[in-house]
Structure 1
Amino acid sequence: MIPSEPLLSPNDAHVLSTLFNPESPPSTTVKVDPSLPPLPHLTTDELSALQSATRAAIAPLAVPQPAKPAIAAAIAALTALITAHPTYAPAYTNRAQAARLAIDDAQLFAPAHAAELEAILADLARAVELATPLPSGSAVSPAQANLLATAHAHRAYLYLRGSKAAAAAVSGSGLLETGPVGLRGLSRERLEEMASMEFEAAGRFGDRLAREMAVRTNPYAKMCGAIVRGALREEQEG
């Protein structure tokens, strides 16, 4: 007997389902346990004091267009916090966000900002390293989940900007020619794939918008989507 519907692999079925309903839960999510300590490496008393110091450092940035001196002061305060408490992960994500405020998005991958962007990515990597549970896949606290979602989504955005910079390469090579040394030479497709993986990671920690972006930037999902749209178009025209 010939099946009335095409047989799809579990992965194909999941991708197609997500394409039509990107808000659907991802196939694997990290368990969030409110009973866990907010952040590893820190006692409750330490965390409370560090949170107060962080709020004071970034408060001047809570305006539509913070001035460059205010950004520099916030970065300096967060750097001092990191020096004194190197395992406090939120200081790294906040410093990365503050540093990015000092650079126009369109100029992120300009040669003049390569060192700053390298430092931003290093801060995000350190935050992820400090906050990721061991073993991988273990439950996390709500604070951990929020921090990891933020760090992964920020890194995804930077990779996505990198893919656009590669596409606009002056030489027409389609490779990233500027920016951090570790990313130079990567293709637009590879950077977009890296962005998709980071969005997916952010989605696993509860970022709903990142889940949708993971599908939109996933090369395999794009291919499936193109096939489905083509089939639907043929069906309508036929």
Structure 2
Amino acid sequence: MPAATMQSFDPKPEVSLSSNDAHVLSALFDPEASLSRDDVDISASQNSLPGISESELPGLQLIESAAIRPLNTPSPSRETVEAATEALGDLIVAHPSYASAYTNRAQALRLLLGDDLFSSANNTLLSRLLSDLSRAIALTTPASPQDTLSRLQAHVLATAHTHRGYILLKAAKAARDGVLEGGPEELRRASSDELEEMASRDFFLGGRYGDKTAQQIAVRLNPYAKMCGAIVKEAMRKEMDEYRNGLEL
């Protein structure tokens, strides 16, 4: 059977794209590629945190585990959560460079906030939560993107960025609904679009440091992915309209 003939084409047409344009086009058709292109170097053999010596880390982790263990129930009481928050606060006072304690205290504060995150009554708690997450990020962010991270350092960064991204995304919705009353002044002054952009950045970084859920959310919030999705939806709508019009003939 003779081989089918194919029209030849030049696989390298005379089109010049900047590296940014090429990256954007790649992200449109494979959004996850934009998150994995610049991989973080994470050492599987290291279990350390910046500013904490290897000798003191195990002891700090034991204290931290004891503080948060009572929270590992479906519905811990407010008294239990407050006790955990206080214990983590004592740990932070004694060891202010221990980043993991900040992320865990932020999670405990999130339990205290309940569902009404952005009410004026929760202003102090929400400000403390965001401050803890920002502090954890500042303590663990590498000086250079090329620096090797330990597994624990990457985990703290992923947790802090993802948690902050979640808060910022909720804040964006609250701003759109006109119910953003609590939190730092910078948060309340920002527009819903600005808050969503900040959330997208945090989810991107959370995914970059290893959180798969953050990576997926970052793809959905990516403006290029949104644009691509809108183009596809519009094309599908037109195709359906043409199909319906054809049936009516």
Check whether TM > 0.5: yes
| CA–CA separation in structure 1 for the residues paired with 2:121 and 2:97 | 30
State yes or no: 1:66 paired with 2:70. no
- Counterpart in 2 of 1:207? 211
- Counterpart in 1 of 2:23? 11
- Counterpart in 1 of 2:90? 80
Quote the sequence identity (%): 46
Report the aligned-residue RMSD: 2.4
Would the alpha carbon gap of residues 161 and 57 (structure 1) be closer, same or farther in structure 2, given more than 3 Å must change?
same
1:149/1:206 contact within 8 Å kept: yes
| CA–CA separation in structure 2 for the residues paired with 1:17 and 1:53 | 47
TM-score, with length taken from structure 1: 0.87
Deviation at 1:237, TM superposition (A): 4.7
SS of 1:42 mapped into structure 2: coil
The one-letter code matched in structure 2 to 1:142 is R
TM-score, with length taken from structure 2: 0.84
Deviation at 1:177, TM superposition (A): 4.7
| CA–CA separation in structure 2 for the residues paired with 1:200 and 1:51 | 28
- 2:123 corresponds to which of 114, 117, 134: 114
State yes or no: 1:131 paired with 2:156. no
The one-letter code matched in structure 2 to 1:201 is L
Would the alpha carbon gap of residues 18 and 109 (structure 1) be closer, same or farther in structure 2, given more than 3 Å must change?
farther
State yes or no: 1:187 paired with 2:191. yes
Unaligned runs of 5+ in 1: 171-175
- 1:216 corresponds to which of 214, 220, 229: 220
Deviation at 1:136, TM superposition (A): 3.5
| CA–CA separation in structure 2 for the residues paired with 1:127 and 1:99 | 15
Would the alpha carbon gap of residues 31 and 2 (structure 1) be closer, same or farther in structure 2, given more than 3 Å must change?
closer
- Counterpart in 2 of 1:227? 231
Looking at CA atoms only, which structure, 1 or 2, has the larger radius of gyration?
2
- Counterpart in 2 of 1:173? none
Paired residues in the alignment total 228
| CA–CA separation in structure 1 for the residues paired with 2:237 and 2:22 | 25
| CA–CA separation in structure 1 for the residues paired with 2:138 and 2:208 | 16
- 2:165 corresponds to which of 147, 156, 162: 156
Deviation at 1:45, TM superposition (A): 2.1
Unaligned runs of 5+ in 2: 1-8, 243-249
The one-letter code matched in structure 2 to 1:26 is S
SS of 1:184 mapped into structure 2: helix
State yes or no: 1:196 paired with 2:172. no
Deviation at 1:234, TM superposition (A): 3.0
SS of 2:42 mapped into structure 1: coil
- Counterpart in 2 of 1:53? 63
